């Protein structure tokens, strides 16, 4: 069986499916569990305060280890790799990792798309290096234009202008389209929805609204704090009429809408109220080398230990295939029941958003 696997992957991508017939297409890699913000919905300061112990350097996968794992995934059909975290631009030299990953090609010769999600604080000074390294896609998170609201959401003294400057620098280098992610929390930043639309709708940036999710176990999530996709769209539509667009590709999680007057596009990611587990093709590699088959998983498969024991690619490939073939995750679909269960969920900053 092992030999057959190796034969197949040496000639073409081996497409593997999980128990719900979902293919493995996307790999998200958390390159650091650290961050220079403390967004209340992700890394609340009460938990991630000055006494919080982040992963020691020795436990974090090296770039060489990440490259090795990523290459195996590409052989298994992964077409898109997203670097995330934590804040990925805080990982020293991340552009060197991007450069190596951008050289990967799938068995049929297609280049792999390399994407990155960042809070944008270090983007102005990193954008050129990211471009030179071959980064294909850039997503920047920004939860409002009001300084007061942004600082409240990110529990920081960082400035909106720093993020906007980063976006402008990246646009000037030709990253297009840049996506801006905005998580909406009721009565915290929902009044920023329309100003954000107004600001970005003529700029070539695709603004994407994300329903606030119950990731991890620390953000104190309550359904009452979620502004649903439907409500977000109604609010925008009453100012700027919208019409729905077709997805760019099968399995796209954001529903796309354009302004009727032709002045731009938005996306809405309804992870809570319109779940997309049925076509979820993502796997996540944590900062310390564990593989998680769902954002809401409690346990992962450790790849670091076999890598550091000098196990060969055949064994690592076997671990990956086994995990995916046994995968039955659909947490969001089952959310209502699942949140009543006393389960421990992994934090997003560690597993990769
Ligand atoms: N630090 C980077 C950033 O903020 O863009 C990358 C990591 S962050 C975990 C990735 C994305 O997850 C961000 O767009 C963030 O807004 C989103 N996110 C984090 N916690 C969330 C939550 N509880 N619900 C919805 N989205 C969340
Ligand atoms: Fe940091 Fe991103 Fe999480 Fe905010 S959402 S705390 S920027 S990792
Ligand atoms: Fe995928 Fe899990 Fe999210 Fe469902 S809940 S879309 S299976 S990551």
35 touches ligand 2 (CB under 6 Å): yes
Give the span between the Cα atoms of 138 and 135, in whole angstroms. 8
Q: What is the pLDDT of residue 249?
A: 85
Q: What is the pLDDT of residue 335?
A: 77
Copy the structure tokens of residue 193.
Answer: 């929805």
Give the span between the Cα atoms of 263 and 176, in whole angstroms. 16
Residue 271 CA, closest ligand 1 atom number: 25
Q: Whose CA is nearest to atom 10 of ligand 1?
A: 353
Which ligand is closest to the CA of 36, given by its number?
A: 2
Q: Whose CA is nearest to atom 3 of ligand 2?
A: 42
User: One digit per residue, pLDDT tens: the chain, 353 residues?
Assistant: 333 343 343 445 568 999 999 999 999 999 999 999 999 999 999 999 999 999 999 999 999 999 999 999 999 999 999 999 999 999 999 999 999 999 999 777 888 999 999 999 999 999 999 999 999 999 999 999 999 999 999 999 999 999 999 999 999 999 999 999 999 999 999 999 999 999 999 999 999 999 999 888 888 889 999 999 999 999 999 999 999 999 998 778 999 999 999 999 999 999 999 888 999 999 999 999 999 999 999 899 999 999 999 999 999 999 999 999 999 999 888 876 655 544 677 888 887 77
Give the span between the Cα atoms of 303 and 252, in whole angstroms. 28
User: How many angstroms separate the alpha carbon of residue 20 from the centre of ligand 3?
Assistant: 12
87 touches ligand 2 (CB under 6 Å): yes
316 touches ligand 3 (CB under 6 Å): no
Q: What is the pLDDT of residue 12?
A: 54
Residue 331 CA, closest ligand 3 atom number: 5
Pick from 119, 212, 213 the residue to mutate for probing ligand 2's pocket: most ligand atoms within 8 Å of its CB.
119
User: How many angstroms separate the alpha carbon of residue 84 from the centre of ligand 3?
Assistant: 17
Torsion angle, CA of 206/153/291/108, rounded to 10 degrees? Answer: 10
Pick from 295, 346, 348 the residue to mutate for probing ligand 3's pocket: most ligand atoms within 8 Å of its CB.
295
Q: What is the pLDDT of residue 11?
A: 43
Q: Whose CA is nearest to atom 11 of ligand 1?
A: 353
Q: What is the 3-state secondary structure of the chain? A: CHHHHHHHHHHCCCCCECCCCCECCEEEEECCCCCCCCCCCCCCCCCCCCCCCCCCHHHCCCHHHHHHHHHHHHHCCCCEEEEECCCHHHCCCHHHHHHHHHCCECCCCCECEEEEEECCCCHHHHHHHHHHHCCCEEEEECCCCCHHHHHHHHCCCCCHHHHHHHHHHHHHCCCCCCEEEEEEECCCCHHHHHHHHHHHCCCCCEEEEEECCCCCCCCCCCHHHECCHHHHHHHHHHHCCEEECCCCCCCCCCEEEEECCCCCEEEEECCCCCCCHHHCCEEEECCCCEEECCCCCCCCEECHHHHHCCCCHHHHHHHHHHHHHCCCCCCCCCHHHHHCCCCCCCCHHHHCC
Nearest to 26 by CA among 345, 262, 316, 252: 252
What the chain holds in terms of domains, given with CATH numbers, is 26-351 (3.20.20.70)
331 touches ligand 3 (CB under 6 Å): yes
Q: Whose CA is nearest to atom 4 of ligand 2?
A: 39
pTM of the model: 0.94
């Amino acid at each position: 069986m092992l030999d057959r696997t190796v034969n197949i992957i040496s000639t073409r991508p081996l497409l593997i499916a999980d128990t719900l017939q979902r293919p493995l297409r996307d790999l998200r890699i958390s390159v650091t569990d650290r961050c220079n913000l403390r967004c209340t919905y992700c890394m609340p300061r009460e938990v991630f305060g000055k006494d919080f112990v982040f992963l020691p350097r020795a436990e974090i996968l090296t770039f060489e280890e990440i490259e090795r794992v990523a290459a195996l995934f590409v052989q298994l059909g992964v077409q898109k790799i997203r670097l995330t975290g934590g804040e990925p631009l805080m990982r020293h030299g991340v552009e060197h990792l991007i450069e190596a990953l951008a050289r990967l090609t799938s068995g049929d010769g297609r280049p792999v798309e390399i994407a990155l999600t960042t809070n944008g604080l270090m983007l102005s000074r990193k954008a050129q290096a990211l471009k030179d390294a071959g980064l294909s896609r850039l997503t920047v998170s920004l939860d409002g234009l009001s300084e007061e609201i942004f600082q409240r959401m990110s529990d920081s003294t960082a400035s909106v202008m720093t993020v906007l400057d980063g976006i402008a620098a990246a646009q000037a280098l030709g990253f297009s389209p840049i996506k801006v992610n905005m998580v909406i929390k009721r009565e915290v930043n929902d009044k920023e929805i329309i100003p954000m639309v107004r600001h970005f709708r003529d700029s070539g940036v695709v603004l994407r609204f994300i329903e606030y999710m119950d990731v991890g176990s620390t953000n104190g999530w309550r359904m009452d704090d979620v502004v649903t996709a439907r409500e977000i769209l109604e609010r925008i539509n009453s100012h700027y009429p919208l019409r729905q667009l077709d997805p760019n590709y099968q399995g796209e999680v954001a529903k796309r809408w354009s302004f009727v007057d032709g002045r731009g596009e938005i996306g809405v990611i309804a992870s809570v109220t319109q779940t997309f587990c049925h076509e979820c093709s993502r796997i996540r590699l944590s900062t310390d080398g564990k593989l998680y088959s769902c954002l809401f998983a409690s346990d992962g498969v450790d790849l670091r230990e076999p890598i550091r024991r000098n196990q060969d690619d055949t064994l690592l490939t076997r671990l990956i295939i086994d995990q995916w073939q046994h995968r039955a995750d659909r947490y969001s679909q089952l959310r209502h029941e699942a949140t009543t269960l006393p389960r421990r969920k992994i934090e997003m900053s560690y597993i990769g958003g």
